[in-house]
Amino acid sequence: MKLPGRVYLVGAGPGDPDLLTVKAARLLAGAEAIVYDRLVSREILAMAGPKALLFPVGKSPKKHPVPQEEINRLLITLAAAGYMTVRLKGGDPFIFGRGSEELLAIKRVGLRCDIVPGITAAQGCAASVAVPLTHRGLATSVRLITGHCREDQPLDLDWKGLADPATTLVVYMGAANIAEITSRLAYEGLAQKTPVLAINNGTTPRERRLLSDLSSIAADIKKADFQGPVLFFIGEVVSLYAAAGINPLLREVIPSAAEHNAVPVHA
């Protein structure tokens, strides 16, 4: 009989396998069981050992085929059976990843759980387009917010505090609610012409970008018909996007190994 195994909550980063930590890559290669989210890229899953058991438990807006309680039970069952288990999450497991809930559930039954941080999507995607999250004279702070609440409940955010022109907002999981988010920010005084950059499948060969503003992004994102995860950057730092060498009007992109495709700016 195998001794109890352990669970590693591993951050998979924003998608590019080269952005994994050395520890994360080593654990992926040696894992006996991998429980992974929808946002984990195919390139990263390809790094799993050939004998690893793979368990997809991903969620999407209004579609939760595997409830969180079942995910917790699966992790406990695998570890109790002696499997070295990797719980693989996009970005960092402690930033909108419900990693802390899984950690508490595992520890509650006396099993070991270790955390392996990852580059969160805000950092990875901002770097991929050379847009700083903070910049002297443009943004003195950055706030990461979720655009999707637990069990699809209405958004309940500090809208007045978020509508700060000196703050960069990064919206995770916000594609379905971007119209509400931008209208609430505008109502609290954020300028309609505040630039917004949406990044789809960031840091992967499938990355697409859409440059718009607060008043137009909701309509523009529908036209773009993005597939996969979308991250929104809202704030004056987005004005540096073109200054970094990218002209969306001409669909020109900084050369990169990913061969990114730019989506034109809203006219």
Selected catalytic residue, list 37, 92, 164, 213: 37
187, 214 contact by CB (below 8 A): no
Selected catalytic residue, list 47, 89, 164, 173: 173
Is 173 labeled as catalytic in the residue annotation?
yes
Helices 178-187, 217-224: crossing angle, 10 deg rounding: 170
192, 186 contact by CB (below 8 A): yes
For residue 56, which phi and psi values (nearest 5 degrees)?
A: -75, 130
Cα separation, 181 vs 191, whole angstroms: 13
Q: What 8-state DSSP symbol labels residue 164?
A: -
Cα separation, 227 vs 68, whole angstroms: 24
Cα separation, 114 vs 101, whole angstroms: 13
Is 59 labeled as catalytic in the residue annotation?
yes
Q: HSE (CB half, 13 Å, CA atoms) of 31?
A: 30
Helical ranges in 168-253 per DSSP H: 178-187, 217-224, 240-243
Residue 100, C-beta contacts closer than 8 angstroms, at least 6 positions apart: 94
Is 2 labeled as catalytic in the residue annotation?
no
Tell me how far CA of residue 155 lies from CA of 7, 68, 225, in angstroms.
32, 20, 23
Helices 99-108, 68-80: crossing angle, 10 deg rounding: 50
Selected catalytic residue, list 47, 59, 89, 92: 59
70, 55 contact by CB (below 8 A): no
**Residues with catalytic roles:** 37, 59, 173
